[in-house]
Structure 1
Amino acid sequence: MSTRERILGRVRRALADVAPDDTPYERAVERAYAREHGRLDAVAAAGLLAGNLADYRARVHRCAEDGLPAVVGRLLAGRGARTVLVPDGLDPAWLADSDARRVPDLAASTPAELDRVDSVVTGCAVAIAETGTIVLDGGPGQGRRRITLVPDHHVCVVRVPDQVVTSVPLALERLDPTRPSTWISGPSATSDIELDRVEGVHGPRTLDVVLVGRPPGGGPR
């Protein structure tokens, strides 16, 4: 008997006396809580996201769609990136202005090989304004979770306003619970007992977030 079978057997025994007409879990839990704190328009939501990302020491950039390749190219050049990890489904136009060698996202890549990559460029599934969080779920242009944890520099592209929500509950509505998700609030950071901040311990030392597009009603790029 495998460990999996043993665990599932214990679960079945624990549920053996549960009546079949019990209220399903998704209806048994009251979920009448507020889903967002007030209503923000697209301009305000994008501004709140940018401010909270900056508070976490992420570097925030704004541009129109046609300016994205130039911004990504500038960020990679600024890091002196000679290699850039490219997940499946990433729009090749995003890297049109970069001379860095493309490294594919392969299941066979070892942690040591990923550690030698200078930068990684991805999209995201959703971004949360109230918490300054970007969420990746492994969809097209996002890649495996480890590619955004091992390389030291991550460039993440967020489409405004389409991928920006104000709150965590609204973000959860957009995510498939069966997919692995990575929630990122700023670059990797921790503090020791003396409260000295150390970055890059369990993720990228530098996080560049590019907000692409102008929210309806104008606002800064």
Structure 2
Amino acid sequence: MSDAKVTVTGPGTGSRERMLARIRAAVADAPEAPEPARDYLDTHTADSGVVDLLAENLADYRALVHRTDGAGLPALVGRLLTERGARTVLVPPGLPAPWLAAVPDAVARIEDDPRATAGELDTVDSVVTGCALAIAETGTLVLDGSPDQGRRRITLIPDHHICVVRVPDQVVASVPRAMPRIVPTRALTWISGPSATSDIELDRVEGVHGPRTLEVILVTE
């Protein structure tokens, strides 16, 4: 029985180069592409209406929206934790201390520990954070890991998230207006309502890959 060598080949580089050469020849005399026009609107919302629109869209996403001023913030945070029945609250390293000044002594404060496992974080009842920005037209909160927000996982694992938004300074009308204010090298978390998903029958389930309950406090500065 004699040995036989069989070589199987596919489309070779020669075919590829011929195809590319034909394309280059076809477009050789084509004019340069014009610069795209960028005179489109970057928002459809008047500045005077961004806070109300943010509140409306957050509510549409089933977030619980509250409004207060700086003086009333501590009492509101304390009340929300009490109504939730929280026994523990996770605290990012740079959260302003006055925000938690009225939290009952029965609610234990847990400082964020980078060594904490997902299982340990899952035992925490609530977390309180600030945010980097809030986008009115999409009802979206943007977190970037700043000290008042902490690591991404502390806002994804606990079942109850209270997020404080300073208005109007932290509210922008649209995503295009948000982009110049975002630090692209930070780990960004974009939140539009509590975590949720739906199956093929559109049965909504909340708390799948993030907090089941999102409460947003709009604080007038």
TM-score norm. by structure 2 comes to 0.81
Runs of at least 5 residues in structure 1 that lack an aligned partner in the other structure? 1-28, 215-221
Q: CA deviation at 1:124?
A: 0.2
Helix, strand or coil for the counterpart of 1:202?
A: coil
Within 5 Å, which residues of 2 pair with 1:11-160?
A: 30=36, 32=38, 34-42=40-48, 44-99=49-104, 100-160=107-167
Hey, what does 1:21 align to over in structure 2? Answer: none
CA separation of 1:75 and 1:197: change in aligned 2, threshold 3 A: same
CA separation of 1:198 and 1:39: change in aligned 2, threshold 3 A: closer
Q: Deviations over 1:64-116 (max 9, x none)?
A: 11000011111100111110000011001101111211111111000011000
Hey, what does 1:189 align to over in structure 2? Answer: 196
Rounded to whole Å, the distance in 1 between the matches of 2:218 and 2:135 is: 13
CA separation of 1:30 and 1:114: change in aligned 2, threshold 3 A: farther
Q: CA deviation at 1:40?
A: 1.2
CA contact (8 A) 1:46 1:160 kept: yes
CA contact (8 A) 1:35 1:167 kept: no
Q: Deviations over 1:13-58 (max 9, x none)?
A: xxxxxxxxxxxxxxxx85725352335124x100000000000000
CA separation of 1:192 and 1:179: change in aligned 2, threshold 3 A: same
Q: Percent identity?
A: 66
Rounded to whole Å, the distance in 2 between the matches of 1:91 and 1:152 is: 22
Rounded to whole Å, the distance in 1 between the matches of 2:55 and 2:45 is: 17
Rounded to whole Å, the distance in 2 between the matches of 1:96 and 1:197 is: 36
Hey, what does 1:198 align to over in structure 2? Answer: 205
Helix, strand or coil for the counterpart of 2:73?
A: helix
CA contact (8 A) 2:47 2:173 kept: no
TM-score norm. by structure 1 comes to 0.81
Structure 1 residue ranges (4+ consecutive) displaced by more than 2 angstroms after TM superposition:
33-39
CA separation of 1:32 and 1:80: change in aligned 2, threshold 3 A: same
Q: Which amino acid aligns with 2:134?
A: A
Helix, strand or coil for the counterpart of 2:116?
A: coil
Superposed CA RMSD: 1.6
CA separation of 1:91 and 1:195: change in aligned 2, threshold 3 A: same
1:180 aligns with 2:187: yes
Count of aligned positions: 186
1:213 aligns with 2:206: no
CA separation of 1:202 and 1:170: change in aligned 2, threshold 3 A: same
Runs of at least 5 residues in structure 2 that lack an aligned partner in the other structure? 1-34
CA contact (8 A) 1:86 1:120 kept: yes
